[in-house]
Structure 1
Amino acid sequence: MVVTASPDAAGHWGDGTRCVHSGQADRVAGGPFLAGPVIAAPYHLAGPGEPPAQDFYGRGGNPTWRALEDAIGELDGGHCVLFPSGMAAISTLLRLLLRAGDTLVLPSDGYFVARQFVAADLAALGLTVREVPTAGPWPEGVFDGARLVLLETPSNPGLDVCDIAALAERAHEAGALVAVDNTTATPLGQLPLSLGADISVASDTKALAGHSDVLLGHVSVADSALAEELRAARTRAGSIPGPFEAWLAHRGLGTLDLRLARQAANAAALHEALSGHPAVTGLRWPGAAEDPAHEAAARQMRRFGGVLTFELPSVAAVDAFLAESRLVVAATSFGGLHSSLDRRAQWGDPVPEGLVRLSAGCEDTADLVGDVTGALAALA
C-alpha cells in the first residue's frame, strides 16, 4: 500500500515534514539539500547605481542565520531572531524591553542564571522584581504595573507547569508583555505564541539542535516590528551566532520530531521503572498521569519531552549511580542524543543536593531502562 501525504485543510504539514523541509532554499539541480554555511565577514558591496545588497557586513546579517530563522519561525508560528546562546537571547530581550523603574515578573523556580542576570546585570535599572513559583498560586495584582512577565514552563529543573493562556490573558489586561522560556518543551511540544504569549525564547543548544555540539538560542515574536528591534539590538551588541553553528543546528533540526519521540518514549519507560523505587524520591515528569503538573501540561503541550527530575539520597549516591551506569553520562545540558544526568546543586542552583535532572536520550528503551535500574540497584 502506498501512503501519500498532503497538507491539512489549513495548509499545514505534520511535525516531521516541517522539521525536514522548513527553511530550505529552492531546489537547484546539482545543489545540496541544505547548502553549507556562508562564512564571511565583509560582503561585496553593490556597484555604482546598483541597489544595495541585503548583506554588507557579517555582524548585520548572514543567509545561513536567516535560513534557520525561517525554519524555527515556521515551527514557532512567529518571527524568529537567532542568538549565540539561550542566555544571549534572554539577556538581549530583557535589555531591550526593560527601562529604569520597570516591574518584571519572574518564576522563582525558573532557570537560576536568568534570575542571576536580572539581579546582577540589571541592578542599575532599579527594577521591581516579583517572583512567583511556576505552579503558583499567582495572586491577584501580581501583574499590576508590570512591563514584562517571563514565564518558564515546564520549569527547569523542577518541571512544574503553568497555564500560559490564562496567565497571558491576565498579564495583558494589566498592560504587560508576556514571554515564555520554551526550552524544555521545544516548538514541537508547546507553542507559546498560539497560546497568547507575545514572545517565545529558547536555548537551542538543547533539544532543537540536539547533537550536543552547538551553542545557540533564539527569540520568536508575534510582532514583526519587535523582531526588527531585536535584530537591531543584536547588531549593535555584536551578540551574533556563528554561521557554522547555525548550519549545524539547521541540519540537526531535521530529526527533531524523531528524536523527541524516542526521548519521550524513554522518559515514559524510565518514569514507570523509577516510580516507587526506594532510592528515588520526588520523581517528576509532566507526561505521567499522576504528576502534579500533568493536568495543566495536557491542556497546552503537544508532547511531554524526555526530561525527568528526581532526588537521590545524597551526593555520594549520585556519584555512585554515575559510576555504575554505562549509558548515562554526567553533563549539564540536556536534550541530546545521549542520556545525561546533572546534579543541579553543584552549579549553585538552590535545590536539594541530591536533586538530579535526567535527560533521556535516543538509546534503545530496554537498554536504557536496564542500565538505569541496574545502576540504582548497585546503590543498595
Structure 2
Amino acid sequence: MSGQYGDSTRTVKASASQNVPGQPVTSPPLPASAYHLSEDESRPLDTYGRSSNPTWRQFESALADLEGATSALSFGSGMAAITSVLRVLAKPGTVLVVPADGYYQVRRYAAEYLAPLGVDVREVSAADMCAAAESADVVVAETPVNPTLDVVDLHRLALTCRGRGATLVVDNTTPTPLGQQPLSLGADVVVASATKALSGHSDVIAGYAASCHAELMAAVERERLLGGAILGPFEAWLALRSLGSAGLRFERQCQNALAMAFTLRDHPAVRAVRYPGLPDDPAHDVACAQMKRFGGLVAFELADAAAVHRLVERSDLAVAATSFGGLHTSVDRRARWGDPVPAGFARMSMGIEDTDDLISDVTAALG
C-alpha cells in the first residue's frame, strides 16, 4: 500500500516514530556513545556509538524505503558514503569509470587516492558513459550531472554494466529518490548527499548508500565501522526530522526550477540554459523516461563572472552560496571551484519561495 502514496505522504510516514501509546509522535535524538550491555552476547543490541544508534536505524530505514532498497547506511557526508563504497569496490587492477563532468571531488578522490593504489581510473563525460562501461569493472554515474545537468541513460548504462559484470554506482543527490529511482533502473548501489534537498535546511551534513545487495552492503557497513565515517546521532536526528517535509519542499523547488528555466531561457542577458525539464533541452527525452521530477537545479550562463555577481547583489531573494537543496534560493558560480565551465556559468538552486516572487526578483536583478 505504501508504494501507492504520494511523495509527501511517503516522507512523513518514513520519518514518523512507531505508533506506541504514551510515546512521542516524533523521535527524540539519542546522543549516546555507550550502552548498557546484555549478558546475552548474541543479542543484536546497541553497544557502542560508532557501530549503531537507534536514530541511525530509523533514518536508514526511511532512506531505504524512499530509494526502493532493502537496506541503507548513513554516513557523515555524501563524500564519506561514496568513498566508502569505492574502497570496497575499487580494488587494485580494477577499471573504475568516474564522471568527468560531475562533482569534482569524486574525481579528485579517485585520482589522488585510488589511482596510486593501482586502480585504473578513467574520467568520462555523461555522453560517453555507456561506451566506457563496456570495459569497466566499476562505474560511477551521476545524473543529472552536477553542475551542467546533462543526463545519463541509466537503463542503457545498467544493461551495459550487467552484460560486462560491472558494478553500477549511481549518485542520486541531484534528483533525490523523490525524482528518480536508480535501483529500479538497474543500478547496484545508490549513493547521495543527504545534506542537500532531503535535509534541506542548510544545517546538517550527511550522506548515505542504499542497495538491494546484502553482501555488498555488509562490506560497506564493515568499512564504515573500521573507517569511522559515521553520522553523528544528533545530525541523524536533524536529517530525520527534516525528512518529513522533503516531499513538500522538493515539489516546490521543482516547480520553481521549471518556471525559472523558462524565464532564463527567454531573457536576453542569458546565453544558455540547461534544465532537463525544458522540452528543448538536449537531455529532455532521456530525463522523461527515467525521472519523475526534474530537480531543483537550473544551470545557466551569463556574459562573465561580474554579471553573476551583479545578479546576486541586485537580488533580494537569491544568495551566493555553494551546496544546494536548501530553503533559500542560491547562486553558485562554478568556475570559482575549478569546474571546467565558462566564467559566467552559474548553478541556481531553487528554494521554496513563492514562484511568482522568485521569478519577479530574478528578472529584475538581471535587468
Using structure 2 for the length normalisation, give the TM-score. Answer: 0.96
Indicate which of 55, 60, 63 corresponds to 1:64. Answer: 55
1:45 and 1:53 in contact (8 A); partners too: no
Residue 341 (structure 1) aligned with residue 331 (structure 2): yes
Q: CA deviation at 1:137?
A: 6.9
Superposed CA deviations along residues 77-108 of structure 1, whole A, max 9, x for unmatched, are 11111001000011111111111111011221
After superposition, residues 128-143 of structure 1 pair within 5 angstroms as 128-136=120-128, 138-139=130-131, 142-143=132-133
Q: CA deviation at 1:279?
A: 1.3
Residue 34 (structure 1) aligned with residue 26 (structure 2): yes
Q: CA deviation at 1:229?
A: 1.3
Structure 2 partner of 1:3: none
After superposition, residues 287-326 of structure 1 pair within 5 angstroms as 287-326=277-316
Structure 2 partner of 1:155: 145
Superposed CA deviations along residues 203-230 of structure 1, whole A, max 9, x for unmatched, are 0100011111110000001112211211
1:132 and 1:138 in contact (8 A); partners too: no
Q: CA deviation at 1:310?
A: 0.5
Structure 2 partner of 1:88: 80
Give me the whole-angstrom Cα distance separating, in 2, the residues matched to 1:96 and 1:88. 12
Superposed CA deviations along residues 280-318 of structure 1, whole A, max 9, x for unmatched, are 122011111111111000000011111100111111111
Indicate which of 175, 184, 192 corresponds to 1:185. Answer: 175
Q: Secondary structure at the match of 1:272?
A: helix
Q: Secondary structure at the match of 1:122?
A: helix
Amino acid at match of 1:282: A
Give me the whole-angstrom Cα distance separating, in 2, the residues matched to 1:53 and 1:111. 38
Give me the whole-angstrom Cα distance separating, in 2, the residues matched to 1:374 and 1:71. 41
Q: CA deviation at 1:68?
A: 0.3
- Change in Cα spacing, 1:352 to 1:223, as seen in structure 2 (3 Å) is same
Q: CA deviation at 1:123?
A: 2.5
Q: Secondary structure at the match of 1:146?
A: coil
Q: CA deviation at 1:118?
A: 0.4
After superposition, residues 6-21 of structure 1 pair within 5 angstroms as 7=1, 12-21=4-13
Residue 199 (structure 1) aligned with residue 171 (structure 2): no
Indicate which of 344, 349, 352 corresponds to 1:354. Answer: 344
2:72 and 2:209 in contact (8 A); partners too: yes
Amino acid at match of 2:90: L
Indicate which of 201, 222, 229 corresponds to 1:239. Answer: 229
Give me the whole-angstrom Cα distance separating, in 1, the residues matched to 2:293 and 2:135. 34
Residue 46 (structure 1) aligned with residue 38 (structure 2): yes
Q: CA deviation at 1:145?
A: 4.5
Superposed CA deviations along residues 175-232 of structure 1, whole A, max 9, x for unmatched, are 1000100000100100000000001110010001111111000000111221121111
Give me the whole-angstrom Cα distance separating, in 2, the residues matched to 1:143 and 1:17. 37
RMSD: 1.4
Give me the whole-angstrom Cα distance separating, in 2, the residues matched to 1:306 and 1:26. 31
Q: Secondary structure at the match of 2:127?
A: coil
Identify which range, 318-327 or 117-126, moves more after superposition: 117-126
Q: Secondary structure at the match of 2:190?
A: strand
2:17 and 2:24 in contact (8 A); partners too: no
Residue 264 (structure 1) aligned with residue 251 (structure 2): no
Q: Secondary structure at the match of 1:105?
A: strand
Residue 77 (structure 1) aligned with residue 68 (structure 2): yes
Superposed CA deviations along residues 240-267 of structure 1, whole A, max 9, x for unmatched, are 0011111111111111111111111111
Indicate which of 157, 161, 177 corresponds to 1:171. Answer: 161
Superposed CA deviations along residues 310-358 of structure 1, whole A, max 9, x for unmatched, are 1111111111111100100011011111000101111122221111000
Q: CA deviation at 1:277?
A: 1.4
Give me the whole-angstrom Cα distance separating, in 2, the residues matched to 1:26 and 1:216. 23
1:171 and 1:177 in contact (8 A); partners too: yes
Q: CA deviation at 1:129?
A: 2.1
- Change in Cα spacing, 1:137 to 1:88, as seen in structure 2 (3 Å) is closer
Q: Secondary structure at the match of 1:336?
A: coil
2:129 and 2:152 in contact (8 A); partners too: no
Q: Secondary structure at the match of 1:351?
A: coil
2:173 and 2:193 in contact (8 A); partners too: yes
Give me the whole-angstrom Cα distance separating, in 2, the residues matched to 1:350 and 1:145. 26
Structure 2 partner of 1:4: none
Residue 227 (structure 1) aligned with residue 217 (structure 2): yes
Structure 2 partner of 1:281: 271
- Which of the pair is proportionally richer in helix? 2
Moved over 6 A (4+): none
- Structure 1: stretches of 5+ with no match in the other structure: 1-6
Percent identical residues: 51
1:338 and 1:361 in contact (8 A); partners too: yes
- Change in Cα spacing, 1:50 to 1:314, as seen in structure 2 (3 Å) is closer
Give me the whole-angstrom Cα distance separating, in 2, the residues matched to 1:237 and 1:197. 25
